[in-house]
Chains A and B, each alone.
Chain A
């Protein structure tokens, strides 16, 4: 076993440096940094925009491209946080607190340097954790029967739903809508066309990829157009500031913070539904409490930049663990990655490693290498990225809209996919308006078919016993936990509502 592991690792190392794959990593990291830097485009939007490029690629290169974009975007978010006080991604919201003051003092180079080095180190750490924890988790998953898989998926979706928004009830509604959308099309057991409204395009179900492009890219462009007046923060004057980078000795003082934050980020990344923004705030808080100079926090402390940035990049590796090992994506970005894998007929989950050993090692090694590339590309692209912030919102929004249509069309050369993408774009915008989170919906959509088929086969293998889920310990526990997360979050929500009422 050990021998084959090393062999697979070496093999993957060779294929990472295969020309096409390596180009994809460089391209992905560069694009990710720029996209992440642009306010309004988060990691998931960047992934949705660039998804169409992967249609004609081999699966390994596509996954590497998307992972690199994901990692690049998590770092890129700090650029606009530092420069114009607007986090480019949700994960960079905590970076603003110390990054912006430091840049205002005239040291944007040091702020971005701290961000870059911490991001890279955290990415490397989480890559190692990813490589070591995913296979055992998947091995555990292999023992799961249909009832356990059903329980696991319901549990995952329930956690995402309860954590994705301020109002958990809406998260659950969103998840149920996703499950509902996934039921459209020919059903798996008897071939009955459900909810197709006589539209032949819907016989195969609602395609997830165009739906994701609509929800994450097009809806984001709509929001951008709507709020175009709101962001008036000026980019700073390039002549007046120092681009001196962080020195090695300065970074040595950050080691402890970076290590702690990386672990926090990875662990939080593993939990479905808690994304980069939560991780970075927890890491920031932790760094402030354990720092020797807590008084500097908020005024441009390097530790205050390193902690959230390490955490948000570590989330990437962490979030990949349940996605690959169990087939349960915990965030929008991993949902898109999983969608890409499925599109290539690779099903993430317990069988992923047995069936695709080369691909899984390629992902581990590739993700490690992409963090090294991030170091180099990030180092040389700081100025260029700062200039990219001057791109007018109108042009950006137009670009996203046009690319969304193109991406939807190119998905299957289908006109209907464009229409579906457009509908989901508007739907995503409406969801945003009425405060229903999109992520539970998309994850439920992805898992819907799997959940239903596992549900049905569980009932079938137990000869029509609907209580089978509660007769197997693991699935019973998972389902009870899912129910508990619903009850707990909704009750907590009502207490919160009551408290708000009192204050009023």
Chain B
């Protein structure tokens, strides 16, 4: 909660004002929102200070960190490799990280998935995946 409001706060100060004279310019609407947002995050901050009973948020990131990193890696790799190849490795690594050690399962899953994707998206929908 603290984190969220603090983040919003910093973010709203960071925005450069847009330049446009005349009637309500392009900067008007975002400003209205930002003022409200700042007000609300302040209010939330006060409420949470008063409430005291804020529970520590259990981020439990240990489980998910590898998944986030894998996702990033996948996004990087997909630029260099073909979609099908990158996805093949992504699925296998993801399954290994999630505790599926059975090679047959992951390869089977992979092959079925990729074949379906190939036919539906590449052949029928014409998405240039390769």
Chain A: residues with CB nearer than 8 A to chain B? 52-53, 55-56, 169-170, 172-173, 176-177, 179-180, 183, 187, 189-190, 192, 194-195, 222, 225-226, 228, 392, 394-395, 397-399, 401-402, 405-406, 409-410, 413, 415, 418-419, 422, 425-426, 429, 433-436, 452, 455-456, 459-460, 464, 490, 494, 497, 500-501, 504
Contact = CB atoms under 8 A, between A and B. Distances in A.
Contacts of A435: 1
Q: Interface on chain B toward A: helix, strand, loop, or mixed SS?
A: helix
B113 A402 contact: yes
Given A180-B37, A192-B20, A173 B125 contact: no
Contact of B109 (A395, A405, A426): A395
A452 B29 contact: yes
B1 A401 contact: no
Interface of B: 1, 3-4, 8, 15, 18-20, 23-30, 33-34, 36-37, 40-41, 43-44, 47, 50-51, 53, 57, 59-60, 63-64, 67-68, 71-72, 74-75, 78-79, 83, 87, 90-91, 94-95, 98-100, 105, 109, 113, 117, 120-121, 124-129
A225 B64 contact: yes
23 contacts: A53-B120, A55-B125, A169-B40, A170-B44, A172-B40, A180-B30, A189-B25, A395-B95, A398-B91, A398-B94, A399-B109, A399-B113, A402-B90, A410-B121, A415-B79, A418-B78, A422-B72, A434-B3, A434-B57, A456-B24, A460-B23, A490-B43, A501-B51
B47 A497 contact: yes
B125 A395 contact: no
B109 A190 contact: no
Contacts of B109: 395, 398-399
A194 B67 contact: no
A395 B100 contact: yes
B102 to A, nearest CB: 10
Contacts of B40: 169, 172-173, 176
Contacts of A395: 95, 100, 105, 109
Nearest to B15: A195
Contacts of A429: 64
Given A398-B91, A413-B128, A434-B1, A173 B23 contact: no
Contacts of A172: 40
Nearest to B87: A402
A226 B25 contact: no
Nearest to B59: A433
Contact of A459 (B23, B68, B75, B105): B23
Given A399-B113, A456-B24, A56 B47 contact: no
Contacts, number: 141
A319 B5 CA distance: 32
B59 A405 contact: no
B127 to A, nearest CB: 5
A187 to B, nearest CB: 4
Given A394-B98, A409-B127, A418-B78, A434 B4 contact: yes
B25 A190 contact: yes
B67 A225 contact: yes
Contact of B125 (A394, A410, A455, A497): A410
A459 B128 contact: no
Contacts of A177: 8, 37
Contact of A406 (B1, B57, B71, B117): B117
Contacts of A419: 75
